[in-house]
Structure 1
């Protein structure tokens, strides 16, 4: 559904509103960095089981979407509390990568090895 889509800016504002309404306050920046690392680890665990060589243990579930959303949530918390406009930062990052890498990956024989599909 088109109406379900939100911008990065809107997501950043919604996280801030939620923290102010329900979360009492942001955790410290260092705590949120640790929480982000934890969430990335949880995503890695699911990815290793779904796409890697490990299998799901009893009680574990394929919740890649949930884990990605958890990573994004904490990342937006960190952005909010450090004053980073993620939309602007992402645009700058995309421009930098395009300028720096616009031929690099196209000319990489490892990425163009169609036998590995």
Structure 2
């Protein structure tokens, strides 16, 4: 599935099952919440914390939740994420062409 297809799929799902998009502010709060849930799993799986008994630990599901809300925000604000990602990649490539290669901390 392409990014464009993902945006269209989410939009179609919202129209069929979701009644309407939540407000942009609500979705921003939801995105923050989902990123927090993802961070909790990463802290427990790769960091120093341990999982609590019965705690959910599906990293892929949390990443998908973050992506879902991001796609919703893009749709409702008119952002084409395919174009935005291409522009962002070009910006990073130009800006960081030698930055990371020459960083002694990464050797």
TM over 0.5: yes
| Alpha-carbon distance in 1 for matches of 2:33, 2:51 | 19
SS at match of 1:53: coil
Of 63, 75, 86 in structure 2, the residue corresponding to residue 68 of structure 1 is: 63
| 1:111 lines up with 2:106 in the alignment | yes
| Alpha-carbon distance in 1 for matches of 2:7, 2:24 | 16
| 1:25 lines up with 2:13 in the alignment | no
| 1:99 lines up with 2:94 in the alignment | yes
| Alpha-carbon distance in 2 for matches of 1:44, 1:61 | 13
Q: Which has the higher contact order (CA 8 A, sep 6+)?
A: 2
| C-alpha displacement of 1:111 | 1.1
| Alpha-carbon distance in 2 for matches of 1:38, 1:108 | 34
Of 19, 40, 43 in structure 1, the residue corresponding to residue 35 of structure 2 is: 40
User: How many residue pairs align between the two structures?
Assistant: 107
| Alpha-carbon distance in 2 for matches of 1:64, 1:102 | 31
Alignment RMSD (CA, Å): 0.5
| C-alpha displacement of 1:62 | 2.3
Cα deviation digits, residues 52-111 of structure 1 (max 9, x gap):
000010011321100000000000000000000000000000000000001001111111
TM-score, normalised with respect to structure 1: 0.90
Unaligned runs of 5+ in 1: 1-5, 113-117
